[in-house]
Amino acid sequence: MNTQRTQLSNFASIHRMRALARAGTALALAVLASALVWLVWPETGPYVQFPLPLQQLFGDGAAAAQVVALVQALIGAAAASAGFGILTGRPAAAQPLAIVSLVCGALLAIGFVGFSGIAVAGYLMAAALPILALVVGLMVAKRPQTRVLVVVAFAALIVIALLSPIPFAEFYERLGANFATDHFRTSATVLFIGAAGVWLLSGMGVVAREPGRLGAFALRRRRALTIAAAACALPYVIARATWLTPWPLFGGDQIEKVGPEVLATGLLLGGAMLVGAVLTLGLIMTWGSRFPKWVPRIGSKPVPVALAVVPASIVAALFTAGGIETLITLFAGIGVAPVSQWILVIALPFWLWGPLLGLATWGYAQARALEPDAPVNSRGGVVAAA
């Protein structure tokens, strides 16, 4: 029985690796195609007005933007070649091709995403908080009458927010205006985040097929790693909570200098960070392995491993890349006063959160693969295996 389950798990793992390779290849082609467009028409790309981390090596301007677009094209071409090779090549070639995928993902994450990717993801998450609250409320409410009450309560909260002295509406107005004028940069950042995360996950799926000592450590200490990763959100969440007191920390002086809209932005971003910490804890909570009973239709069913592992891996890559940029800026002394940069590194410890989240996700995937009586689908794949 154990041998059969191991074979089924391996079959499912190979199937998922091919699915990741297909997704990574599609994203690589998108990265390559956009780079070619921006190489010919750099003024249409995200590089000229909003320099990326890699442009610190080449400077600003149209010429530097073309160089960065060329580097992007080369990374996209290499990742696409690796993806096609994994899909069509021999198993013996999977290992070196996976290394190419890993290198491409790391270069894209560090050179093209950096800390700005975290900012984009944070603002998008903050903007989605009301919708997320409404969806959860509707799922919890099983009866139609209760769902009507949830909608009414949600509408009342929206009205209260609009009439509140904290101008939450201005956050959404400014976010919409910024996206309208900066949609190229935002869309490119989202593309880079997705591509880098999928490439790294696809490569790691092949390279780390045998967990080794590090994988065994991630499995053995996954609870401590997950709690430590979630705790990385606390400095920022606590700092933003102090903005509601007479002793605001971490940029609270900007409320008086700029206006109350800074308070709304800070509180929403703090809420987004808190949600991120809760989702991180899902890697060790029961609802991270099985949907809660109150979720319609799928309640009590196993959570597909990919539903947790793929986004968590992408976020881990994003946080690690952004954290590396903050550390480079700190020790290189570029642009920001040392004291301010130290505060940023401590209040936003993405340099620690990213690696911890990556290890915790790895431990989660291994733990799910060891679950007994995992259901098998019609193609022989273990649904809950990693």
Residue-wise pLDDT for 140-163, tens only, equals 766 776 777 778 887 887 777 777
Q: What is the pLDDT of residues 43-65, one digit of tens each?
A: 776 766 666 777 766 666 666 77
Strand-pair partners of 382: 376
- How many whole angstroms separate alpha carbon 188 and alpha carbon 202? 21
The pLDDT tens digits of the residues spanning 95-108 come to 778 888 888 888 88
**What pTM was estimated for this model as a whole?**
0.75
Q: Tokens 């560090």 appear where?
A: 110
Place of tokens 């002394």: 333
Which residues on adjacent β-strands are paired with residue 302?
Answer: 290
Helix (H) / strand (E) element for 296: namely none
Block residue for tokens 């309208």: 180
Lowest mean pLDDT among 74-83, 349-358, 362-371, 374-383: 374-383
Give the bridge partners for 292, in sequence order. none
CB 326 within 8 A of CB 348: yes
Residue 70: phi and psi, rounded to 5, are -65, -45
CA–CA dist 160, 118 (Å, integer): 29
Residue 352 reports pLDDT greater than 80: yes
As a whole number of angstroms, the distance between CA 127 and CA 187 comes to 16
Percent of the chain topping pLDDT 70: 77
- pLDDT at residue 333 is higher than 80: no
Distance CA 239, CA 249 (A): 5
